[in-house]
Amino acid sequence: MDFRDTPEETAFRQEVREFIAREAPKQEGTGDRDIISSYAQVFVQSQQWFKKLSERGWIAPAWPKEYGGAGMTVMQQFIFNEEMAEARATRPLHLIIGVAMAGPTLIVHGNEEQKKYHLPRIISGEDIWCQGFSEPEAGSDLASLRTRAVREGDDYVINGQKIWTTIAHLSKWMLLLARTDPDAPKHRGITYFILDMKSPGVDVRPLVNMAGGYEFSEVFFTNVRVPKANIIGEENRGWYAAMSTLDFERSAIGSAIGLRQTVEDIILYAKEHTNDGTSMLCANPMLRYELVDRLLETEVGRMLSYRVVSLQSKGLIPNYEAAVVKLYNMELDQRIARTGMTVLGPYGQLDRGSKWAPLRGRLEYMYLRAVGSTLETGTSEIQRNIVATRGLGLPRGD
């Protein structure tokens, strides 16, 4: 791969950079980590900024113009994302499931009516989406899900429960997996639905994560009616479309640039803070090596992301390659949080509410939140299984 921008890409990068410098709301360089627990607050505060992005089609730059995107190449979209990350510009995180997962799924598997209705509403920020896959007894073994959908006339009636549903409390729509044929082999009796979260019988109950953030919920369904027209693809063939949603999700997760910036912030902190005039890095030379390792690892993470983008730019949906990126970057997320806590020492435990919290409590939050990084979108073990079987061609373990 040639890593250099073409002249057109250079011009585009410059345009994006200038736009962000001119229009993005100014915030003390913190990026996503500060806001992840408060999607709703960011949504309100950044309305104007998101509107400007949306007007340019830059909420989903590579989507076709007819659906509200900017019709850009995948590479231009990547450049846009890189510039947003470098500038630490606020990203519309509340739209991430719509933009990174629901939209791409509908573009590949949805019918024309679904695309025309939903895609522009995702881009305008009008509709927020969530992903209803996991259940209390179906996480890694997703195909054993038990939420039932029973056909009644032109509707399906849904009963069951989902769990860990990120931003369910803010969402208008859910990507729902439900069992339509309990007698078929477990992967073949599942249908993929678009569920209106405002339908009668949908009950969203909050779950608070160990970092104190309200990100996800349990969602209960009691006789919820979903029209047949809301099936994505075909009845009982939902599993295959849902697997591409997971590929899209893993391709989009985790910015290596954001991770590098966190390591740079930790390095700066370590340089500036001394014990009786002696830098902590002199007192603890092993910490210097650790910081060097973390910085190098963010470069590896960036290179792995390029592989995913180069496949996407050829029109392919990355599969085990996306699992590699997810696995590597999310385990790195945890290592960086641990290194950061070592550098900050006991002060690192102070949370964002304390005026004494170093780096405004970002690392304390990151350290606790990062526990979930190797679980969400499929655990590290599941990613390793994908890479082993689909990437390396090794036999299955079961």
Task: Tell me which residues touch ligand FAD (CB under 6 A).
Answer: 130-134, 139-140, 164-166, 216, 372, 375-376, 378-379, 381-382, 385
The Cα diameter of the chain in Å comes to 77
Beta bridge partners of 132: 176
User: Least CB distance from residue 159 to ligand FAD, whole Å?
Assistant: 17
Choice between 261 and 385, CB closer to ligand FAD = 385
Distance CA 120, CA 69 (A): 8
Q: Which of 47, 27, 29, 104 is nearest to 316 (CA)?
A: 104
- Out of 83, 249, 290, 321, which one is annotated catalytic? 249
Choice between 86 and 376, CB closer to ligand FAD = 376
Distance CA 373, CA 368 (A): 10
Radius of gyration, CA atoms only, the chain: 22
User: Least CB distance from residue 164 to ligand FAD, whole Å?
Assistant: 3
Choice between 203 and 381, CB closer to ligand FAD = 381
With CB atoms as reference, the residue minimizing the distance to ligand FAD is 139
Distance CA 94, CA 200 (A): 23
Q: Which of 156, 94, 85 is nearest to 298 (CA)?
A: 85
Give the contacts of 19 (CB within 8 A, at least 6 positions apart).
Answer: 56
Choice between 89 and 252, CB closer to ligand FAD = 252
Instruction: Say whether 249 is catalytic.
Output: yes
DSSP for 147-187, written as a single string: -EEEEETTEEEEEEEEEEEETGGG-SEEEEEEES-TTS-GG
Looking at the chain, how many residues does it have?
A: 398
User: Least CB distance from residue 204 to ligand FAD, whole Å?
Assistant: 12
- Eight-state DSSP code of residue 100: I
- Eight-state DSSP code of residue 387: I
Choice between 102 and 263, CB closer to ligand FAD = 102
User: Which tokens belong to 63?
Assistant: 């989507």
Q: Which long-range contacts (CB under 8 A, 24 or more apart) does 390-398 make?
A: 390/319, 390/320, 390/323, 391/320, 391/321, 391/323, 391/324
User: Least CB distance from residue 98 to ligand FAD, whole Å?
Assistant: 12
Distance CA 38, CA 147 (A): 29
Choice between 31 and 378, CB closer to ligand FAD = 378
Beta bridge partners of 178: 191
Distance CA 20, CA 26 (A): 10
User: Least CB distance from residue 212 to ligand FAD, whole Å?
Assistant: 13
User: Least CB distance from residue 385 to ligand FAD, whole Å?
Assistant: 6
Specify the residue for token string 């995107």: 69
Choice between 57 and 104, CB closer to ligand FAD = 104
Catalytic site residues? 249
